[in-house]
Amino acid sequence: FFLTMFRNSYQLLPQGDSTGPRTPGLFVDTDGFTHTRHHKGLSFDNMPNISQNDFTDTSQGWLSWICNLIVTFLVYICTLITFPITGWFVLKTVPNYQRIVVFRLGRVCPPKGPGIVLVLPLIDQWQRVDLRTRAFNIPPCQVTTQDGGVLSVGADIQFRIWNPVMSVVSVQDLNASTRMTAQNALTYSLTKKTVREIQTERVKLGEYLGMDINELTRHWGLEVDRVELTLGSLLKAPQGGPSGPLIMPPSVPGLEGLAGPLQQLAMHFLVTHATVFAAVVTPLSVEELLGSVKLLLSENLVQQVGACYQFDISSEDGQRHRYYVDLSQGNGSSGAGSLNSEPDVTLSMSDTDLLALFQGKLRPFAAYTSGRIKIQGDVKSAMKLEELINLLKK
């Protein structure tokens, strides 16, 4: 009887189709990737069509469906009878930026929320999913380029979940899987480029990389919003000799849009005069940096930023110093010591990271996601420091 009752509920998963096309890779035609047989054999083949918001489970037999209906009805009755007590356990508050994914008797249901959500005891298993944008960074790794060069390249990536059910059903550890996929896509895509292409087309390559990661992870219910490549040092020159292409320093932004003779001239000028620029505009200490900041303080800058910052700086000899930059009132102020009032943001870092931050060598977002800067307070206000950093660059 039981075998007849559940014969339609439990079936063997289909085996992978070895004759079907495989993943086409990056920067190539993706028609094969969207082939209907590509995902045959995955663990969620027999689940409802979640991506189309269709939660009808066609694999469930009618006797199993009747038993599920009876059990669910009995649980509803018991919950209503004991409601003054069970209300503390079955009612969940879901904010706008979250959804609850419920498995009722093992079968996935439509996501619930926002607002007050009813979760039945005993038969419901549920999990919260955060829909807000998340960020992580790929640590700099060595990439061997097409022309034989070795370059240190990392990336800062922002992504968000657009389908909470798919993010729970399709992958076990979403964060780890996304990191691994993004790192593999980064390494694979850059090995097809030359050193010059990577350094001069950094923004465009970041956009392409985001599209490729989206194509690989769209079945997990997430979407990559932004990819920014972070270029490190050139570990090995490309096999071009003196006649090879000129290499633009990775820390110099703003030349991505130049092409042809203008680009060659700009790169030649930067390479020959880089040491002169460094000697003129690069502060050698935190005190010199504060002196440069004081020259840039203005009422206009205060209106753009509107926040006060406290810097807890640790030096190489183990000593700790405190500095502040107040851009919340008047023409602004900066100096050594602590603020008289409570700061909007407190940033903890080393003195070398502070100099690199205000020299433009270290981006605030990249430093935060990599852990080189610890932020206490509003992260959005901390990112407004780029206004001051851009003025120092000019």
Q: What pLDDT is recorded for position 328? A: 84
Select 286-393's CATH number: 1.10.10.10, 3.90.230.10, 3.30.1050.10, 3.40.630.30.
3.30.1050.10
Q: What pLDDT is recorded for position 156? A: 93
Q: Which two tokens mark 292?
A: 């440069």
* Least confident among 126-140, 230-244, 271-285, 308-322: 271-285
Q: What pLDDT is recorded for position 266? A: 52
Q: Are 119 and 102 in contact (CB under 8 A)?
A: yes
User: Is pLDDT of 23 > 70?
Assistant: no
State mean pLDDT over 218-238. Answer: 89
Q: What pLDDT is recorded for position 378? A: 79
CA 187 to chain centre: 17
Q: Are 364 and 353 in contact (CB under 8 A)?
A: no
Question: How confident is the model over 133-153, as pLDDT tens digits?
Answer: 999 999 888 999 988 899 899
State mean pLDDT over 167-179. Answer: 91
Q: What pLDDT is recorded for position 90? A: 92
State mean pLDDT over 82-100. Answer: 91
Close Cβ partners of 92 (under 8 Å, ≥ 6 residues apart): 100, 116, 117, 118, 119, 126
Q: Greater confidence, 91 or 263?
A: 91
First to last CA, the chain: 81
Residue 12 is classified by DSSP as P
Q: Greater confidence, 315 or 197?
A: 197
Question: How confident is the model over 118-129, as pLDDT tens digits?
Answer: 999 999 999 999
| Residue ranges of domains in the chain | 63-129, 133-236, 286-393
Question: Which ranges in the chain belong to alpha helices (H)?
Answer: 2-5, 62-81, 83-90, 164-169, 174-190, 195-200, 202-217, 261-281, 286-296, 299-305, 351-358, 364-370, 379-383, 385-393
State mean pLDDT over 60-67. Answer: 84
State mean pLDDT over 224-234. Answer: 89
Q: Greater confidence, 377 or 52?
A: 377
Q: What pLDDT is recorded for position 181? A: 93
Given CATH 3.30.420.10, say whether it is the number of domain 133-236: no
Question: How confident is the model over 95-106, as pLDDT tens digits?
Answer: 999 999 999 998
What residue has token string 């503390």?
88
Q: Greater confidence, 74 or 356?
A: 74
Where does residue 247 rank: exposed (0-12), middle (13-18), buried (19+ CB within 10 A)? Answer: buried
Q: Which two tokens mark 304?
A: 């753009």
